[in-house]
Amino acid sequence: MTDGHARQLFNPRSIALVGATDKSRWSWNTFANLQLHGFAGPVYLVNPRGIPVHGQHSYARIADLPSGVDLAFVMVPTAAVLGVLGEVADHGIPSVVLLTSGFAEVGDTGAELERQVTDLARRRGLTILGPNGNGYINATAGITPYGLPIDNPLRSGPVGVVLQSGALASSVLNFAQSRNVGVSLLVSMGNESMMSMTDVMRYLIDDDATRAIALFIESVRRPVEFLALARESLVKGKPIVAIKVGRSRVGARVAKSHTGSMVGDDAVVDAVFRQNGVIRVDSLEDLIITAGLLAESGPLPGPRFGFITASGGASEIIADRAEDEGIEIPEFAPETVERLRRVVPPFAAIQNPVDVTGYVLIKRDLLRNALMAAHDDPSLDALVLVSDLPRAEPPDPAAIIELYRQSSAVLRGSAKPVIVMGNSLTDITAFGRDVARQTGYPGVLGGIHHGLTALGRAVRWSGLHRDALHSVAPAVPAPRAELELPDQMESSWPEHRAGRFLAAHGIPVVPSALVTGPEQAVRSAEALGYPVVVKLAADEIVHKSDIGGVKVGLRNAGEVLAAYCDVVSAGYDAGADVHGALVQPQRTGGIELLIGIVTDPAWGKVLAVGLGGAWVEILNDTALSVLPVDRSQVLQSLRSLRGARLFDGPRGTEKADLDAVADMIASVAGLAQRLGDRLDALEINPLLVKGSQVEALDALITWRHGA
């Protein structure tokens, strides 16, 4: 779908309501919306009986309509849709909003009908939004072909909204309006038979009226396109804020690996969004508040904020929530403290956050004066003024309006961004909206809790935006000849085969000898040097220690002989196809990590980095990234682990060389990328890190059948 198709769909000059009838609330609502919100072009009604509808003349057939109709809003019964779309195409109407339900959302029969609709549309050059959606609201242009009531006045503004939910679209709109957050375009996607969420995202990224994009996502149907658009939007400085519902976990995407059991759908979505600058939220309120904040503020210069309040309690909540969100509250410079001392009462708190106290009820300009005293403090990147718009209109509103006009001038004249935040999340009243309109007062964040949440996300996004302006995406390594593999590959390669493969491609692996008898085991142990480890070699047994298939700390020939017999017997008792045993030198000390790569069906290869060995299931301390990744991203993942302090060498242990670890993990990720679709999963567990020594102690590779 091209941007031209979307532009044509969302900007019609004339609209036909097909299936219009006084018996349908959908019909009444859509017609009333177009009338109430000022659609400038003609609205034609089509009813098969040709009788007056909604007090207006109707046409019995689409063919009877005047020429030049740009959009057909179709709300006929499901069985009639195909025929009606044929008539729409015959009349040369290029765009369709298909309100009708009863398609893929109801099962196989509906899905087949939807396929027929899509085939017809593609053959005849139609662009369809829907089916099973409410339509859209182009508030910027006053075009509202939307099947549910839209309250008046409709506030237009800089937030574009795309929802894969019809029922929630009006709830999101109503909340945005209640917080005085204007929308540019709101689209209820329906089944996305033709027009997809990513098509609308592309339109909004290029739309000058839109400065932030809010998404309600049930599923990302075009992941490659979504990622490209997310990166483009991040670089352009147009934030995308999203709710992604469906926090299901895949119990074991790759049943034979630890990684598969730890990498769930939702965790991968988190990684995808984080890497590509999509701000993930978990409530409709935060969706609109965060998008509204960034649409007004744009990228913020840094995390250091000054707060001006009229409440000690508010200051305490702010301090707590700021710490949660990684927002810094630095001490003011001495000259700032002196300026504050001159403008606030002597009993006010002049540290950051500033509490000017309830004296603001007597001296109405107190908050504004405190803001002016603090705004150019050298330690601050931005400021937050905790203040609400007025709720009730006084008998003489002129004084209130003048107060807010003066405050607005100060806010907008500040050399640093100033964000206004209310104490609690309440609706902005009609009078408050009118004051804001008359005075140019900025948007007010909804409450300290949601406001600080939005502020923290905005700061993090702003950092990602700055990084994106100067970064180059990690390159996918080109295929190399040495990666040629046997034509016939088993579904999994156990440790001895996986280890040899990794070592052959430059990954440091602990020395290992595959032996098939006890005497050979002893010779190998003597060659490697005591102490050694003896492990069962059997393809079916992945977690060998669970069945007694691992013996450690072996210091002489007798112990090795006994260990070989024990691990092989354990394999036979488990019914495994035993290949013998592996003999390896014993490694002690250091930190054990897990490095896993699995293939997600939507997003491709996913890298998991975490604490390994016996701690895998206990701590589940894992950081995910979607490939490709570079060394700096791997370092960021390592430092994000809850157990990252272990790398610093606590209590006399050896400090880990994180640069060496990151280099090794980046090499593993690069190898996985070069293997392409042939690789399903690769796991190294544990990866031993001992100072600058980085070594794989165990490995598993799973290949994709038929690749």
- Angle among Cα 591, 597, 598 to the nearest 5 degrees reads 140
pLDDT at 482 over 60: no
Do the Cβ atoms of 101 and 78 come closer than 8 Å? yes
Structure confidence by residue, pLDDT tens digits, 619-637: 677 899 999 999 999 999 9
Which residue bears the tokens 């242009």? 141
Handedness of CA 65, 70, 76, 81 (dihedral sign): positive
Mean pLDDT of 271-299: 96
For residue 252, the model assigns a pLDDT of 35
Confidence of residue 479 (pLDDT cuts 50, 70, 90): very low
E strand or H helix at 399:
helix 398-413
Domains along the chain with CATH numbers: 3-294 (3.40.50.261), 299-470 (3.40.50.261), 511-585 (3.30.1490.20), 591-703 (3.30.470.20)
Give the pair of three-digit tokens for residue 450: 């949601």
For residue 707, the model assigns a pLDDT of 54
Lowest-pLDDT choice from 20-24, 300-304, 572-576: 572-576
* Bridge partners, residue 595, by sequence: 609, 684
The whole model's pTM is what? 0.90
Confidence of residue 37 (pLDDT cuts 50, 70, 90): very high
pLDDT at 474 over 60: no
Give the pair of three-digit tokens for residue 128: 């369809």
pLDDT at 346 over 80: yes
| Mean pLDDT, the chain, whole residue set | 91
Per DSSP, the residues of 515-562 read ESSHHHHHHHHHHH-SSEEEEEEETT-SSGGGGT-EEEEE-SHHHHHH
For residue 493, the model assigns a pLDDT of 86
pLDDT at 648 over 80: yes
Structure confidence by residue, pLDDT tens digits, 68-104: 999 999 999 999 999 999 999 999 999 999 999 999 9
Q: Say how far apart CA 360 and CA 345 lie, in whole Å.
A: 10
Lowest-pLDDT choice from 101-105, 348-352, 404-408, 651-655: 651-655
Do the Cβ atoms of 278 and 212 come closer than 8 Å? no
Q: Say how far apart CA 163 and CA 177 lie, in whole Å.
A: 17
pLDDT at 254 over 80: no
Structure confidence by residue, pLDDT tens digits, 146-185: 999 999 999 999 999 999 988 899 999 999 999 999 999 9
Let me know how long the chain is. 707
For residue 244, the model assigns a pLDDT of 93
Running DSSP on this structure, what letter comes out for residue 79? Answer: G
For residue 353, the model assigns a pLDDT of 97
For residue 652, the model assigns a pLDDT of 73
pLDDT at 615 over 90: no
For residue 572, the model assigns a pLDDT of 93
Q: Say how far apart CA 400 and CA 24 lie, in whole Å.
A: 45
Q: Say how far apart CA 360 and CA 340 lie, in whole Å.
A: 14
For residue 545, the model assigns a pLDDT of 84
Burial of 251 (C-beta count, 10 Å sphere; 0-12/13-18/19+): exposed
Rg (CA), the chain: 32
Q: How many CB atoms are closer than 10 A to CB 142? A: 14
